[in-house]
Structure formats: C-alpha cells, structure tokens
Amino acid sequence: MLPRFFGVVLVVGMVVGASAAVGGADEGDKFVGTWKGRIDSYDEVWTVKRTDGTWSINGKFRRNGAEAGSFIGTDVKEANGTLTFTRKFVKKPANPGWQDQVTIVVKSEGENLSYVWSAGNQKGTRTLEKYADEDKAAEDEFGKFRGYWTADVATGFRVVMHISMTNDKIRVVADYYNKKGLAGNFVGVDPSLKNGLLTFSQKFVRKPVSSWRDGKLHTLEVVSDNVLKFSWQGGGTENFTRVKK
C-alpha cells in the first residue's frame, strides 16, 4: 500500500505543480501582444513583449496613417496583476501638452487592456484593444502616398506632385510644366486620408490656364506601388507614376 500511496501523492503533486506553472505563465501573457487605442487625434499602437522574463514595451503614435511619434517603456515591472512602466518619448508628437516620463499602470480587462497614466497631479484613463490583422495591413496607410509623382496629362502639361507630412499634417503640392518651364502650381486644401483614399480641394498658387477654377475636389488612390490614380470632380482621371519616395 505504501508505494501506491506515494504514487498517488506524486501524481497529485505533478498536476498541482503543472497547474501552478500554467497559471504563472498566463498571468503575464495577458499583456503580451500588439494593442491599439485612440489618444486625442492619434492612433496609439503598443507592442508588448516578454523574453526570458524581461519586458519590453514599444509604442507608436499615428495620424492620418503616418507615424507621428514613438516611445519606449522603461522600468517595466509586473506585480499584483498589473504592468507598470515609465513612458519615455523617442519622438514626441507635435502636442505641447504631452509630458515625458509619465507613469503608466496597465490592467487586463477581458480581451482588452486599460491603463492609468499619471504625471504630477494630472491623471487619466484609456483603453487598448487587441490589434487586429486587418489593422496591421493598413498600419502605414499614408506611407503608400508619400513621395513624388509625375504624369503627362491630357492638357499638355507635365505635372510633378509631392505628397508629404509636416507637423502631423498631410501636404500636397503640384507644379505644372510646359516647354517654356514652370507654368503653374497648386496646393491641396484640407487633405484627408480615409479608407485608402486621399482627398483634398485644389487651390492654385499660379494658374497654368487662366480659366481653371479653385475648389475642385480631388481624390487620389494608390492602385499599385508605383501608380497613383488621380481623379477630380466632374469625372476626369489621370494616372501618375512614382518618381521617388
């Protein structure tokens, strides 16, 4: 009977030990992954990893699909069901109210995360959702548009368009050339990027043709890595070719 008794004790001990090991692993695993939230006018994306017991947290801030800032987590600690770290900006977004060295305490909320940030007497709460695969595919939506594009258009001009971002704002400018050189140019007013389409209203700095009007709505769509479809109000379309990013 004695060997059998010890066999039962051994099996029970193994089961309890295994359960404790699994429970211990799951406790921290709930924070691991890629998470997305919204803060002011930015998308906030965190990547949380744990390698051999060491935590790393990297965050990015995006506006209009383009990266506008980033941070790392320092002094990361896991205790009592929370993950605590100090946010240190690598690239601070163009928001003067945001402070560096903010303390953040993260908790698991079912499938999502919530966190409390504090800096001095200021404090706030935000939530993060699991970063879905479809979000990852569109992670840098603006990056597809960024760069220089050119087309020989039906009106006889060669148009060179530059799409960029300055201070977290999309900027669209274009120059019209003919055989004599620069014939005109425009800037994009109120550019907006949504569902893969970049839209803006055209405002001429110098009209290449005197009868052309300001205010016409334009829509840009990247149809391949090097081809940009340029459409405007009234039904016209031109294809631009990427010159450089």
Residue pLDDT, tens place only, 36-52: 999 888 889 999 999 88
pLDDT at 115 exceeding the cut of 80: yes
Q: How far apart are CA 232 and CA 118, in angstroms?
A: 47
Q: What residue has token string 């010890």? A: 6
What is the predicted pLDDT for the residue at 168? 72
How confident is the model over 180-199, as a mean pLDDT?
Answer: 93
SS (H, E, C) the chain: CHHHHHHHHHHHHHHHHHHHHHHHHHHHHCCCEEEEEEECCEEEEEEEEEECCEEEEEEEEEECCEEEEEEEEEEEEEECCEEEEEEEEEECCCCCCCCCCEEEEEEEECCEEEEEEEECCEEEEEEEEECCHHHHHCCCCHHHCCEEEEEECCCCCEEEEEEEEECCEEEEEEEEEECCEEEEEEEEEEEEEECCEEEEEEEEEECCCCCCCCCCEEEEEEEECCEEEEEECCCEEEEEEEEEC
Contacts of 202 (CB under 8 A, 6+ apart): 186, 188, 189, 214, 215, 216, 217, 218, 232
- CB 59 within 8 Å of CB 87: yes
- Do 117 and 128 contact (CB within 8 A), yes or no? no
Domains and CATH numbers, the chain: 31-137 (2.40.128.20), 142-244 (2.40.128)
Question: Whole-angstrom Cα distance, residue 105 to residue 9?
Answer: 41
pLDDT at 219: 96
Question: pTM value?
Answer: 0.55
Q: Do the bridges between strand 158-166 and strand 147-152 make them parallel or antiparallel, or are there none, so unpaired? A: antiparallel
Asked if pLDDT for residue 223 goes beyond 50, the answer is: yes
Candidate from 55-69, 166-180, 206-220 with smallest mean pLDDT: 55-69
Q: pLDDT of 4-21, one tens digit each?
A: 544 444 444 444 444 444
The pLDDT, as a whole number, for residue 6 is 41
Mean pLDDT (the chain) is 85
Check whether 95 has a pLDDT greater than 90: no
